[in-house]
Amino acid sequence: MEITLGHVNRMTSEAFIESLGWIFEHSPWVAKRAWTARPFSTLEQLHRAMVRVVEEAALSEQLELLRAHPDLAGRLQMTDASVKEQQGVGLDRLTAAEYEQFTAWNRAYTERFGFPFIMAVRGQTKDTIAAAMRQRVGNEPERELETALHEVSKIARFRLNDLIHQ
């Protein structure tokens, strides 16, 4: 379903949350708080308002948002958006050996940082994703929190672009 920015600006709080609450994975609180920033002149302004909500959130809320994301190449229940994003780069077609490697990297990453590896996978390949996993597991925790939140922001932008016509 595609909607217009004008439609978004006229939505009630409930309709806004229902329509945009999934943009940030399992975190409708982002849309709920961003609704008060209406009206939005551009899609960029809407995206920026939602990102600002995340940036201004308590660390515990930011971590909750990150932990709401599925493991890349994981087989646990994912949102429709995550399924499509991961299928688009072939993470649903890994060999058994590749799946084992991604699972090991996911486990090591989550143990180190306390949240799953997050990457906006659109335009990536399984090889570039694997390289990023290997590199980022060595980051300092503060830097990786910042990187993961930036990746969440990119995912949200892709999702908004797919949903809303300007």
Residue among 79, 61, 60 at smallest CA distance from 69: 79
Measure the CA dihedral 56/59/60/66, to 10°.
Answer: 90
Number of neighbouring beta carbons within 10 Å of residue 68: 16
* CATH class of segment(s) 3-165: mainly alpha
Instruction: Note down pLDDT in tens along the chain; length 166 residues.
Output: 669 999 999 999 999 999 999 999 999 999 999 999 999 999 999 999 999 999 999 999 999 999 998 777 555 454 555 555 555 566 667 788 888 888 899 899 999 999 999 999 888 888 899 999 999 999 999 999 999 999 999 999 999 999 998 7
Beta bridge partners, 15, equal none
Instruction: Point out the residues that are catalytic.
Output: 69
Instruction: In whole angstroms, give the CA distance from residue 62 to residue 9.
Output: 26
Angle at 24 between CA 22 and CA 29, to 5 degrees: 80
Please report, for the chain, the start and end positions of each structural domain, with discontinuous segments joined by +. Answer: 3-165
Task: Write out the two tokens for 76.
Answer: 């646990």
Residue 91 near residue 82, CB atoms below 8 Å:
no
- Whether the ω angle into residue 39 lies within 30 degrees of 0, i.e. cis, is yes
Chain length of the chain: 166
